Amino acid sequence: MLFSMSIQPANPQHAQPASALIRQSGPAAFDYIFDAAHGPENLCFLRHEFRNPGTMFSYKHHCVYLVNNQVVATLAMFDKTSHAKTFCANALAIFVNYGWRAIVKGLKFEWKLVKAPKKGCLYIGHIAVDQQHQGKGIAHQLIQYASEQAIERGFSTLSLDVAADNQRARALYLSLGFKELVAHKSYHANLDDHVYMEKPLT
């Protein structure tokens, strides 16, 4: 059987599988910030916002890995400017669905654990591979794709955050040339400690 594999910019039609993968990239944070006790199930929220071009969860900021035209992995890319441009739309979507409580949680999460992208960096996130396709080098290919995109756009550094206890992901990133620079201790029992990593591109 022949397999067709490709990486391409996401589009709104990818919302259902992509939103599940985005949630998979950080389930503890999504469950804590977008608490279903105060709004919709966060998977429904992510699916809706994936189709919304204004928020950070939008297809506009993601690429997908396709196997036989099926989405099996995701990766998001932001720089300082594109991330900042989503702020108002993010806040509005979160307030409408979950109220002020979730906005405060989200701001604290970004301030203490996963900070906004630095100037000169292309930040990658929402990195997730469907369980049936893990161990096949897909995450490696996505990060290589992001590196090429960063270089084409004039960035000198690729950056990311990873849960401190995700040893498999940390080992992959180290093998690809990332360096662990800062450890951020969690301030809440429901959230993971995080490690900030950078990879020089020049």
| Whether the predicted pLDDT of 2 surpasses 70 | no
Domain boundaries, the chain: 5-161
How would you label 81-107 residue by residue, b for 16+ Cβ within 10 Å and e otherwise? eebeebeebbbebbeebbeeebbebbe
Question: What token pair was written down for 123?
Answer: 């930040």
pTM (2 d.p.): 0.94
- How far is it, in rounded angstroms, from Cα 107 to Cα 112? 9
In this structure, what is the dihedral angle of CA atoms 147, 76, 55, 60, given to the nearest 10 degrees? 70
pLDDT value of position 108: 96
1: pLDDT confidence band, cut at 50, 70 and 90? low
* pLDDT-based confidence at residue 68 (cuts at 50, 70, 90): very high
* pLDDT tens for each residue of 3-52: 789 999 999 999 999 999 999 999 999 999 999 999 999 999 999 999 99
126 confidence band (pLDDT: 50, 70, 90): very high
pLDDT (0 to 100) of residue 3: 72
Q: Enter the CATH code of domain 5-161.
A: 3.40.630.30
Burial (Cβ within 10 Å: 0-12, 13-18, ≥19) of residue 48: middle
Q: What is the pLDDT of residue 195?
A: 98
Report pLDDT digits (tens) over 88-125. 999 999 999 999 999 999 999 999 999 999 999 999 99
Relative orientation angle of helices 100-112 and 87-98, to the nearest 10 degrees: 130
DSSP 36: G
